[in-house]
Structure 1
């Protein structure tokens, strides 16, 4: 497949690039500081921001766009407009855990103990998910990690869920960035959550 990854130089974005390449896909890595000199037959770099007027045309023809851009860096209006202009049919978003429910109708980000340092990004992610749910013209998927998204190992062993926060037998909610990338690329290859949010955790 031809997969474009926005925010490709970040912690999650770089792991998505690595996972996609390991599966034999052709990847277009988009980041503000992308190095086109590192291009290969399988990997092409584009140095651009979301608002770059030429980016949509350069993304045209891809099978999927995966966005790993922080929600406070680019809102839904700019990103959804980019996807629409590109004509790419599938749009997958690296979501956050804050919008996951810990009880019916109660999001993690709205609890008193939610870390203040992450609240702005989490609320922006919650709003982004709401915008996607109102975008009837897009084939989108929003993958929320567990509460802790950390550097770790690629095990390929994890659980998938829907809108509820996943917690393991010890009360911990976590997933490695490497296994998160596995779950995202599984979804790219075999769509099972079109126009839905789902989550991944141990």
Structure 2
């Protein structure tokens, strides 16, 4: 496929770009810092600002899918507007974990243990997901990572477990995944299309 990755120079976006290129997909990597996008065969590095829908629509026109790894200070309406303007039907979003539910069925954001100082940072991701769930035209997927996502080794396929709206944890109650393994699950979803208009998550069991 030809896939546009928004925020391709960031921690998540760069790993997703690497995984796509390794599997033979053509990548249009878009960032305000294009020189920081992985320089790999099959990767086109382009300067662009996802907060400007007309500009973004021009950059992504003709791709088969868009994967967004940008921060949630860009509203869903802006991103969806650009995708629709470009005529792209598939949107995958690198989401947040705060909207996942714990074992008690309570959203992590609403848990008494959730740090108050982080709430203003993660709330836009929750709003973004709520708005995606109202979207009827674009085929979207929202991929929440584990509670802790970190720069670390690529353990590879089979090292993580997928989930839906509930946090995936290991035997000690920890929830974590590396950006590299997160990228595997993201590209798996692109190729297998198992979560159309759904949210899913992944973590090491």
Query: Could you tell me the TM-score, scaled by structure 2's length?
Result: 0.92
What is the 5 A alignment of 1:26-105? 26-35=26-35, 42-52=42-52, 53-71=54-72, 73-103=73-103
When residues 37 and 201 of structure 1 are mapped into structure 2, their CA distance, relative to the original with a 3 A threshold, is closer
Asked if the contact 1:36–1:46 (Cα under 8 Å) also holds between the matched residues in 2, the reply is no
Task: State whether residues 100 and 165 of structure 1, in contact with CA within 8 Å, keep that contact through their aligned partners in structure 2.
Answer: yes
The residue number in structure 2 matching 1:113 is 113
Deviation at 1:103, TM superposition (A): 4.9
5 Å matches for 1:1-202? 1-35=1-35, 42-52=42-52, 53-71=54-72, 73-103=73-103, 106-156=106-156, 157-202=159-204
1:4-49 residue CA offsets vs partner (Å, 9 max, x unmatched): 0001111101111111111111101111111399876511112111
Any gaps of 5 or more consecutive residues in structure 1?
A: none
My pick for the range that moved more, 111-120 or 166-175, is 111-120
What TM-score do you get using the length of structure 1 for normalisation? 0.93
Cα pair 2:4 2:63 within 8 Å, conserved? yes
Q: May I ask how many residue pairs the two structures share in their alignment?
A: 201
Once the two structures are TM-superposed, the CA of residue 132 in structure 1 deviates from its matched residue by 0.5
Residues 182 and 167 (structure 1), Cα distance of their counterparts in 2 relative to 1, 3 Å cut = same
Q: 1:117 and 1:7 mapped to 2: Cα distance? A: 25
Cα distance change of structure 1 residues 38 and 92 upon mapping to structure 2, 3 Å threshold: closer
SS in 2 for 1:99: coil
**Structure 2: any 5+ residue segments left out of the alignment?**
none
Structure 2 CA distance for partners of 1:199 and 1:36, relative to 1, 3 Å = closer
Structure 2 distance, partners of 1:81, 1:37, is 24
